[in-house]
Structure 1
Amino acid sequence: MYESILVPTDGSDTAELAADHALALADAFDATVHVLGVVDVEGEAGPFDVGGVDDEFVGRLEADAEAAVDSVVDAVGDRPVETAVVDGDPADAIVDYAAEEGVDLVAMGTHGRTGLDRVVTGSTSAQVVRESPVPVVTVRDVDGSLSTEYDDVLIPTDGSPAAEVAVDHGIAVADAFDATVHAVYVIDTMALAGGADTTMAGGGGGVATGDLLEPLVSSGEDATEGIAERAHDAGLDATTQVVEGSPGSALVEYVDTESIDFVTMGTHGRTGLDRVLLGSTTERMMRHASAPVLSVRHENPE
């Protein structure tokens, strides 16, 4: 599935944590590791100060980027590794490198340095997910540690083509780590609340019954069972669940309550009353889920 994995780094704690997960995935898939440092002169100095930047300042940024790259290389061990330090906007540089070098996966932190010496930021990771030609694993710092032993892998689905593109990736990761697959379908109760023939339980505690709910429960069961069958075909254990709620919040809660170690999801899903996975849901997972999130971007043919 993954023959080469790109690890952008700025030397921050979150970037180092993402590198740990990238190396775990590289070991599991026997992949070559690419380590990238980006010298963002304009971002560091500010757009109005670039003209006054001297060689010493640029040299300091380059030295910091090289040191960040070297720190990851030291952790790679005997695995094949390629390195690069480039100039430019971090998100653009990461996306361009992924395309030009033909890597199969990007793994990066969701937040990097702050203040004048920042390189990789939350907005950078979101932009990379939106524009990357390959799937992106984002890792946020959760009390300084996240297990790189993936025992439980979550694959959210709404049955749409956008969700389907992530299923193969989720099963591949689960297979590499011999993990249990969790297939989850979220019925968006906020979208259903204004629909006809819908009864809210407890005066708004969730959709209880109605013409709109029943077919979605059936669709959810079909979608999750389909993933479970594919997991079983790969020799993996699998569990399915159809839940109600706001998709982003429900999935974040599921990650916590079920001690999920890794999430694989599409970046876009259905729209309208039966939507589940949207770009906003993916970004919420990136910001709040206590597990790495592998986002697979779906190209809308429209």
Structure 2
Amino acid sequence: MYDRLLFPTDGSDPAREALGYALDIAAEHDATLHVLNVADTNQDSLTTVEGRVVDVLESEGEDLVAEAVDHARARGIDAVSAVLQGDPTLTIVDYAHEHADLAVMPTHGRRGLSRLLLGSVTERVVGALDVPVVVVNPAADRTHRYPPREILAATDGSDAAGRALDAALDVACETGATLRLLSVVETTSLGFDVRSAVASEELDARATAVLDAAAARATERGVDTVTHVAHGHPHREILDALDDHAVDLLALGVHGETDFSRSVLGGVATKVLRTSPVPVLLRRDPDPGA
């Protein structure tokens, strides 16, 4: 399923912790791990040593990727590395489009106090990349486990949610995981008059239809499913579902917005991404007209 897995790293603690999860995925699918470090040309990294101009960031990057490759090969995983100069987001996206069918990134990554390589970059990569991205929150209390035993896919019936569902089904088919399907009816804006009651019933009916369609797709692929309609704030209901069930992986769809300012669930993915106790499998909707 996954043959080429991209792991961008800046050598930060979050990146080092996310590497373990990337290695688990690569080992499970017998994938080649591509370890990438980007020497950020937006930073002043050039110094003079004995009359020669040396790019310190690129030199550091070589050490970082070599360390990650050593960890991969110690587990019997094929690994290659690259250190490139450029804008981190654009360089990661360009490399992934050519060399990867899955990317794994942490939610945050800092080197020093002033430079951010992974974090906001991760979000921009998600909004621009055509392949699935798994985002790992190293600060989560729960132990990350791959292959997953249960996957949660939150869906609203949109195209992006459908792409995320397909990505979740791919993993479930390959690993034998159960797929938990969730659709959230946002009722917080509804009042308590007759019209709101009718609207709530209509929303419930639509959510049920969305889940039925998703479950039918899963059944066609031989995946066991559990469906649930929740009511309230979508991001809170998704996080509650993660807390209430033994979910190992969350699948969400996002719009193809390069600034990651909106998600298919109305900003929900942005809120969930940074606090999810489990890795999040994100699949973006293609750009309009693409």
Aligned match of 1:207: none
Aligned match of 2:215: 228
What secondary structure, in the 3-state scheme, does the structure 1 residue paired with 2:267 have? helix
Which is helix-richer, 1 or 2? 1
Structure 1: runs of 5 or more not aligned: 199-209, 270-274
Amino acid at match of 1:128: V
In 2: Cα distance, 1:63 partner to 1:194 partner: 63
Q: TM-score, normalised by structure 1?
A: 0.82
In 2: Cα distance, 1:107 partner to 1:55 partner: 35
1:55–1:264 Cα change, 3 Å? farther
In 2: Cα distance, 1:195 partner to 1:296 partner: 38
Query: What does 1:74-85 correspond to in 2, within 5 Å?
Result: 74-77=70-73, 78-85=76-83
1:247–1:58 Cα change, 3 Å? farther
Aligned match of 2:85: 87
Q: Is the 8 A contact 1:181 1:238 kept in 2?
A: yes
Shift of 1:71: 2.2
Shift of 1:98: 1.2
Aligned match of 1:25: 25
1:36–1:177 Cα change, 3 Å? same
Shift of 1:144: 8.5
Query: What does 1:241-260 correspond to in 2, within 5 Å?
Result: 241-260=228-247
What secondary structure, in the 3-state scheme, does the structure 2 residue paired with 1:120 have? strand
1:194–1:60 Cα change, 3 Å? farther
Q: Is the 8 A contact 1:217 1:242 kept in 2?
A: yes
Q: Is the 8 A contact 1:69 1:83 kept in 2?
A: yes
1:230–1:29 Cα change, 3 Å? farther
Structure 2: runs of 5 or more not aligned: 257-261
Query: What does 1:261-272 correspond to in 2, within 5 Å?
Result: 261-268=248-255
Amino acid at match of 2:47: D
Identity fraction in percent: 36
Amino acid at match of 2:106: G
Aligned match of 2:153: 155
Q: CA RMSD in A?
A: 2.6
Aligned match of 2:259: none
Q: TM-score, normalised by structure 2?
A: 0.86
Comparing 230-239 with 77-86, which one deviates more in the overlay?
230-239
Query: What does 1:129-140 correspond to in 2, within 5 Å?
Result: 129-140=126-137
Amino acid at match of 2:271: R
| Pairing 1:215–2:194 present | no
